[in-house]
Structure 1
């Protein structure tokens, strides 16, 4: 990858619907070489997929909850089962295995507290968890899906 690939990625992160001709012009390429670079970035798994980002309030996802989970079980079997259970919940939009005092962290998006309680009840009915702690976001101050690209290792400077 080089600086042109990084510029392509930066622009696609801002707007993945940009026309290839417009993208090519912005990075100083003609359309065909630009399209080939995009295809290569997709084949290499750098670009995983292109999506539409929705406004959570417009789709009744007004409440964001960070759910910290501790477990007594640390086996691969339990983790596999837990990941399967979490995969059943569309409310869980992010799921991480953590270091430190918390074993797992979830980001859950729901319309209200009652919907979160329903989620919680279904979760604990499906799998044993030692401790669950929920923190409700009061305000989203910064949110982005754009990854920082200044740390990319370039083949050609």
Structure 2
């Protein structure tokens, strides 16, 4: 079972995974060795899945976000496997969620510009049959966070 210190450690690591263990230890009132053991336990228990770098989308020439709502008339296992392979093969599709309601999936695309959407659209249609697609251009990112709340633990 996790305690408040574990939750605070997870929160700090989500903010900056490169924070030295001495700084994390000081923030949660532990010795560096005790803090290091807790971090190792959190990793071993599967709370820490790895470390990744956040890249600047503008410097990578990917400032445009499009959300693509998808409807399909097919739900057979073979079609689902093809769909998963299709969206995995297109690197500009960075998230895919299966939905309830009027649409089956929402895809998040990161693109150099709006015009490039047509390229991704054609790549997707070459790989998989879809019933209906509706693209929505993000005008502004109001909140963007990869950090998960830890207070539910």
The TM tier, using the shorter chain, reads over 0.9
Find the residue that maps to 2:106 and give its secondary structure. Answer: strand
User: Is 1:7 aligned with 2:8?
Assistant: yes
How far residue 94 of structure 1 moved from its aligned partner, in angstroms, is 0.8
Find the residue that maps to 1:58 and give its secondary structure. Answer: coil
TM-score (norm 2): 0.95
How far residue 3 of structure 1 moved from its aligned partner, in angstroms, is 0.7
User: Is 1:134 aligned with 2:121?
Assistant: no
Deviation digits for residues 29-49 of structure 1 (CA, Å, limit 9, x no counterpart) = 111221121122122221112
Q: Please name the residue that 1:21 is paired with.
A: 22
TM-score (norm 1): 0.92
Deviation digits for residues 10-63 of structure 1 (CA, Å, limit 9, x no counterpart) = 111111110011111111111122112112212222111211112211111110
Number of positions where the alignment pairs a residue of Structure 1 with one of Structure 2: 152
Q: Please name the residue that 2:80 is paired with.
A: 79
Q: Please name the residue that 2:115 is paired with.
A: 114
User: Is 1:61 aligned with 2:62?
Assistant: yes
Find the residue that maps to 2:59 and give its secondary structure. Answer: helix
Counterpart Cα distance in 2 of 1:91 and 1:45 = 28
User: Is 1:146 aligned with 2:111?
Assistant: no
CA RMSD of aligned residues (A): 1.0
How far residue 77 of structure 1 moved from its aligned partner, in angstroms, is 2.1
Find the residue that maps to 1:56 and give its secondary structure. Answer: coil
How far residue 114 of structure 1 moved from its aligned partner, in angstroms, is 2.2
List gaps (5 residues or longer) in structure 2.
Answer: none
Counterpart Cα distance in 1 of 2:28 and 2:68 = 41
Counterpart Cα distance in 1 of 2:25 and 2:98 = 39
Q: Any residues of structure 2 matched to 1:87-126 within 5 Å, and which?
A: 87-126=88-127
Deviation digits for residues 105-154 of structure 1 (CA, Å, limit 9, x no counterpart) = 110000012221101101001100001110000111111111112222xx
Q: Please name the residue that 1:32 is paired with.
A: 33
After TM superposition, the runs of 4+ consecutive aligned structure 1 residues lying more than 2 A away are: none
